[in-house]
Amino acid sequence: MNIIVAVDKNWGIGDKDNMPWSIPEDMKFFKDMTINKTVVMGRITFLSFPKQLPLKNRQNIILTRDENFSVEGAIVVNGVKSLIEFVKDINEDDVFIIGGQSIYQTFEKYCKKAYITKIDYEYEVDTYFPNLDLLDHWEISKIHDIKHTKDGIPFTVYEYINTQI
Ligand SMILES: NC(=O)c1ccc[n+]([C@@H]2O[C@H](COP(=O)([O-])OP(=O)(O)OC[C@H]3O[C@@H](n4cnc5c(N)ncnc54)[C@H](OP(=O)(O)O)[C@@H]3O)[C@@H](O)[C@H]2O)c1
């Protein structure tokens, strides 16, 4: 499995159940990476999507403990074990953990690769991604070119490898 996430200077990822920023170029990177693949998300991240619709052209899996929750066009699973069971027949490179905080924290250890867009700015945030630079099992494997938002804020994709998998 892979992780894909955008973080600010302090590894912040969200505020009040939404993303604190909008960076079209990074959204395109997210789309290019996940198109025709499987994306796994928590219920709160799913509900933040426009019109609360699953992402197009991807197999959407939503985690919730609510056994009555259902969404047309998405698969709903109620726990870590069910998720692992569900994805075991899918090529591991084709599964992306896409957030939010609780899902990243739970599944980080199961992921081989992480695509982290680091945004060089401090936003107001209330949710975080684990700082991979403080975890011994994650190593940077590639750094993409620096780009800039329309406001001139630099951002760069870092690829990390989990050396324990
Ligand atoms: N910067 C980025 O790249 C990025 C990406 C994605 C999300 N985000 C941000 O992250 C924030 C949301 O993070 P969050 O932690 O509050 O919410 P979340 O992880 O998106 O969803 C949390 C929900 O997922 C379900 N869940 C979590 N663990 C589960 C488990 N083990 N088994 C079954 N269900 C489980 C629960 O749903 P129930 O309550 O229904 O049981 C839980 O309330 C938002 O601000 C969002 O915008 C940022």
- 106-129 pLDDT, tens digit each: 999 999 999 999 999 999 999 999
In total, how many domains does the chain have?
A: 1
User: Locate tokens 């959204």: which residue?
Assistant: 27
Which of 43, 55, 78, 158 gets mutated to test ligand 1 (max ligand atoms within 8 A of its CB)?
Answer: 43
- What is the pairing mode between strands 113-119 and 147-148? unpaired
**Torsion sign, CA atoms 129, 130, 134, 139:** negative
Residue 113: in which H helix or E strand, if any?
strand 113-119
pLDDT of the residue at 110? 96
pLDDT of the residue at 55? 98
pLDDT of the residue at 121? 98
Which residue minimizes the CA distance to atom 21 of ligand 1? 42
CA 88 → CA 38, 43, 83, 85, 92, distances in Å?
A: 12, 21, 9, 5, 8
3-state DSSP percent of the chain in helix, strand and coil, to 5: 25, 35, 40
pLDDT of the residue at 1? 97
Residue 116 sits in which domain range? Answer: 2-162
Which of 65, 87, 126 gets mutated to test ligand 1 (max ligand atoms within 8 A of its CB)?
Answer: 65
Per-residue pLDDT of the chain (165 residues; tens, 9 = 90+): 999 999 999 999 999 999 999 999 999 999 999 999 999 999 999 999 999 999 999 999 999 999 999 999 999 999 999 999 999 999 999 999 999 999 999 999 999 999 999 999 999 999 999 999 999 999 999 999 999 999 999 999 999 999 999
Q: What is the distance between the alpha carbons of residues 35 and 83, in angstroms, rounded to a whole number? A: 20
CATH of the domain at 138: 3.40.430.10
Q: What is the distance between the alpha carbons of residues 123 and 11, in angstroms, rounded to a whole number? A: 10
pLDDT of the residue at 118? 98
Q: What is the position in ligand 1's atom list of the atom closest to the CA of 77?
A: 33
117 alpha carbon – ligand 1 mean position (Å): 19
Which residue minimizes the CA distance to atom 7 of ligand 1? 100
Q: Who's near 103: CB < 8 A, 6+ residues apart?
A: 40, 41, 42, 45, 63, 97
